[in-house]
Amino acid sequence: MKEYSCCKICEGEIKLINKKYNLVECVNCKLIFCKSIFSQHEFIDVYNELYNKENSHYERHSKDEFNKILNGHSIKVGFNRSRLIKKTVLNGKCKSVLEIGSGVGFIGTYIRNHNDAIKYTGVELDKEAFEKSKILNLNTINGDFSVIEKIESNFDVIMMWEVIEHLQDLKLFLELAYKKLNTNGKIILSTPNYNKIYNYPNREEDQIFQDLPPIHLNFFTPQNIKNIFEIHQFKNCIVNVKKLPYLQVSSFVFYINVLKSFFNKYQGTTIYFEATKK
């Protein structure tokens, strides 16, 4: 299998930090990523297994959420995500939005339900999810993120939810995202916080607490995500980390982690990020 010989973002020196999963960290920009290079065919097979098989890992996204939309249930996108969407998309100024990794159309439908005048475009690699989005009459494209280069129009907002960690050619994505944004346009996203490993002091060596390669290929911290966007000319980078752990009322550890969060001793599970093209 082919491997990266230097940082995929800044071409800096890389050092191995996780032997089991072949993760490296850039000495310069601090990006953590899988050194192995996977093929597009491998990605398609992986996502078909994750989303479309019976009792699949991401069945909630591919089946449950789709059925809720069809049955007219209200769409709940979560506090932090809805706050970013309201600030940048549903603010009365945004005219167009592009979603990378749009899935079955959960967020696209949410935006349409709140303001159907906003021009929405989704891009989804998984064909079955793409076909479901078409049933919902959403403007979506079946392909990986690179297809956005062929879209003639630019956008006020580009968004991606738990997607950037899946992108192998991260540098190309950042270049295209910058190119496809209007001046003063924003990119908004969420991604797992790699630093949550520090919530588990007794973890096994090389253990990480998110999906493994080739599902997740990039691993972000509040600092390295700012670094890579600033390298690609984005300004006003704002990072927020989910402060409290997910609710588990029957877990003693949950209450310990809540206490830790008030003393800034808890590493939140998710990073919420926005940046601007100036």
Q: Is the pLDDT of residue 182 over 70?
A: yes
Work out the number of other CB atoms within 10 angstroms of the CB of residue 155.
24
pLDDT value for 43: 82
pLDDT for res 63: 79
Lowest mean pLDDT among 65-74, 135-144, 155-164, 196-205: 65-74
Can you give the pLDDT at residue 106?
Answer: 95
30 to 43, 171, 221, 231, 251: CA distances (angstroms):
25, 14, 9, 12, 34
Q: What is the predicted pLDDT for the residue at 57? A: 65
What DSSP character marks residue 198?
Answer: G
Q: Is 30 helix (H, G, I), strand (E, B) or coil?
A: coil
Report pLDDT digits (tens) over 54-79. 776 666 666 788 988 999 888 999 99
Q: What is the pLDDT of residue 153?
A: 96
- CA–CA distance from 244 to each of 70, 188, 238 (Å)? 32, 21, 19
Under CATH, domain 40-276 is a member of which superfamily? Vaccinia Virus protein VP39 (3.40.50.150)
pLDDT for residue 164: 98
Element (H, E) at 134: helix 127-135
The amino acid present at 69, given as its one-letter code, is: I
Residue 219 neighbours by CB distance under 10 Å: 25
CA distance 136 to 68: 12
Exposure string for 161-193, b = 16+ CB within 10 A, e = fewer: bbbbbbbbebbebbebbbebbeeebbbbbbbbb
pLDDT of residue 161: 97
Q: What is the pLDDT of residue 58?
A: 67
> 0.85 cut: is pTM over it?
yes
Q: What pLDDT is attached to residue 59?
A: 66
pLDDT at 50: 74
Q: Residue 52's pLDDT is what?
A: 72
Q: Residues 6 or more apart from 156 whose CB is under 8 A from it?
A: 93, 94, 95, 96, 97, 181, 182, 185, 186
40-49, 163-172, 202-211, 231-240, range with the lowest pLDDT: 40-49
CA atoms within 13 A on the CB side of 111: 31
**What is the per-residue pLDDT across 17-30, written as a single tens digit (0 to 9) for each?**
999 999 999 999 99
Question: What value does the mean pLDDT of the chain take?
Answer: 94
Helix (H) or strand (E) holding 121: strand 119-124
pLDDT for the residue 60: 66
246-257: per-residue pLDDT in tens? Answer: 889 888 888 889
Name, of 44-48, 55-59, 202-206, the range with top average pLDDT: 202-206
